[in-house]
Amino acid sequence: MFDFIKKKIKDSINSIQKKLVKEEKIEEREAAHDETALPAQETKEQEKTHDKPATLKVAPKEERSEEEPAAPRRVQEEEPKKEPQGKKKLFAHQINDVDIQNIYGEIRESLLENNVALSVVEAIRSDLKEKLKGKDVSLLSTRRDVEAAVKDSIKDILMDYPVDDFLAVIKAKKPYIILFIGVNGVGKTTTLAKFAKFLIKNGLKPVVSASDTFRAASIEQLETHTKKLGVEIIKHNYGADPAAVAFDAIKHARTSGADVVLIDTAGRSDINKNLLDELKKVKRVSKPDFTIFVGDALTGNDVVNQAKIFDKEVGIDATILSKADVDKKGGAVLSISYITKKPIIFLGTGQSYEDLVPFNKEKTADFLLE
């Protein structure tokens, strides 16, 4: 993930580094020119005042007796040479609007090409300007300072939800009800199964509601997962009311002592009114404690727009992005939490039940600039 963006960020930092090297060489030449021109300038001044040039000023002789030893000559010390003003800036540079535009310009097109939303790109530009403008940098510190500013800007647009905090919330209520929503084909059912495995590893007992009664073979797919995981599944026939299935799963969890109810739901190839109305009903009946939007990282800006609609119409609390391991661009990861103002909680990184990685914005920013 982030292969292209990482390269562009590196190129932009190299660009300003080269600029400073170029400025240093110019200033060195100017300083050297000033030093060689200095004696000639002094001679002209001396000619004007009719003074003879001298390098040493000797004190006049004093009268002394033959017995007295000759006093050593006193030499008037010359004032130390002043460093040419250009030297002061040889290794220093104050970042200005042009520098910031150069840095931003280097990565802007790349960010847009890699499915980063325009509003996110503009937020990064504004943040870079705030962090960098007027900052004094040197040849030795430029890379460190610019990288730190870019990293902080990326962290500012990302939101995560520490897994330990999430587990503490889940364990505080029994049964804790989680609703999974998203369009068809994003890996929602598989992601739910991975999440069930995560709960089992942390000592929790989940029960699953097969509330996708629309898609052919959806119930069988979920049954295959629950059988492998040793998890109970509550199901009805195809065409049944999804909200009724969820209601029965919650009732079963209360009587069986299950800790968590995971509600699978139907998706569509597009987001239509029937789908949204169905999800609203499931949510109204089940009263979930937490709603997770599952999106496909490979779809870039499409998944961001889907998340916006689902959040507006149904309401979401966090996102899980599937197929993040094969997403070379990473635009969805950088955009979705900024647009929805909801955290990313996990990334799907493979086909096995273990391939659900907690999302961490610090590590993500570090990875982009490693």
Cβ count near 52 (within 10 Å): 6
CATH superfamily of 1-36+87-157: SRP54, nucleotide-binding domain (1.20.120.140)
CA gap 92, 139 in Å, rounded: 7
Segments in the chain forming alpha helices (H)? 3-48, 85-88, 97-113, 118-132, 142-157, 163-171, 188-201, 218-229, 242-256, 273-286, 301-313, 331-340, 361-368
Which class for 143: exposed (0-12), middle (13-18), buried (19 or more C-beta within 10 A)? Answer: middle
- In this structure, which CATH number among 3.40.50.10470, 3.40.50.720, 3.40.50.300, 3.30.565.10 belongs to the domain 163-368? 3.40.50.300
**Any idea where the domains of the chain sit in the sequence?**
1-36+87-157, 163-368
Question: What is the sign of the dihedral through the CA atoms of 37, 42, 47 and 49?
Answer: positive
Q: Which of 327, 325, 276 is nearest to 302 (CA)?
A: 327
CA gap 366, 370 in Å, rounded: 6
Tokens 């149904």 sit on residue = 314
Are 292 and 283 within 8 A, CB to CB? Answer: no
CA gap 139, 149 in Å, rounded: 16
Q: pLDDT digit of tens for each residue in the chain (370 aa)?
A: 555 566 666 666 676 667 666 666 666 677 666 666 555 555 555 555 555 554 445 455 555 544 555 555 555 555 555 544 444 444 567 778 887 787 777 678 778 877 888 888 888 888 888 887 877 766 556 667 777 887 888 888 999 999 999 999 999 999 999 999 999 999 999 999 999 999 999 999 999 999 999 998 999 999 999 999 999 999 999 999 999 999 999 999 999 999 999 999 999 888 889 999 999 999 999 999 999 999 999 998 899 999 999 999 999 999 999 998 888 777 888 899 999 999 999 999 999 999 999 999 988 887 776 6
Cβ count near 263 (within 10 Å): 29
Specify the pTM.
Answer: 0.78
Tokens 């996102």 sit on residue = 319
CA gap 82, 88 in Å, rounded: 11
Which DSSP symbol is given to 80? Answer: P
